Amino acid sequence: MSVLIVSGTGTDVGKTVATAALAACAEGRVAVVKPAQTGVAPGAEADLAEVTRLSGVTDVHEYARYPDPLSPHHAAQVSGLPELEFADTVRRINDLDALYDTVLVEGAGGLLVPFTSSDRWTLADLASSLRAPVLVVTAAGLGTLNHTALTVGRLAEDGIELAGIVLGSWPAEPDLATRCNVADLAAMATDGRLAGALPARMSTMRDFATRARAALSPRFGGTFDAKAFAAAAAW
């Protein structure tokens, strides 16, 4: 199975940049899927365009788009557009899995945000059906511990593999709370180590692929040294 689900602990934690970094570091044929895009008008550039701009990966797939910046189930209701059908989404991703070495699936919001109002399926349901591991992208600063623990705990309850925890935006000058959080977040990972830390404003950096390799662990094609990072961040 070559599918990797990219979930966040919430909105605006860096999922799209993390997905682009994973795509930039992956070997072989790579496809990126955004099952539902919200808050973007028809024809406008959205998250997948950003992934392509940053990583160079052009095999990108969006299954539904809703113009209102809401959770997918509410966005579909408000727009009057069809909801994203669960079985069809699973089938389409499985079809891609047969053709590509790596299929990255970026969620919308957090792990348990509903995609539909009818059956209220979530990214956790998708991961379970695909038997795919989930990479959790989280914030680094104050407030992240509870959000991350709840997300990781739910994955464990559902029997879904935690692929790792990545800091979606590591500041150039982290404050005390941010530095204190590193050890706690690492402890939530299966192996007790963070799987990466993306520098803040990474999407504006010209050498994105180089930055991506330095920011992700060897499991994801990078060179990130979790022990050295934790030691440097310790207060």
d(CA 175, CA 203): 22
Q: Which two tokens stand for residue 137?
A: 């992208």
> How far, CA to CA in Å, does 86 sit from each of 11, 52, 56, 64, 225?
22, 26, 29, 12, 38
Is residue 34 part of the annotated active site? The answer reads yes
Choosing from 34, 65, 193, 213, the catalytic residue is 34
Q: Which residues contact 80 (CB under 8 A, 6 or more apart)?
A: none
Residues 6+ positions from 177 with CB-CB distance below 8 Å: 141, 142
Please name which of 226, 108, 230 lies closest in space to residue 179, comparing C-alpha atoms: 230
CA distance 1 to 97: 7
| Contact between 134 and 160 (Cβ < 8 Å) | yes
Element (H, E) at 71: none
102 alpha carbon, distance to own chain's centre: 14
Catalytic residues: 34
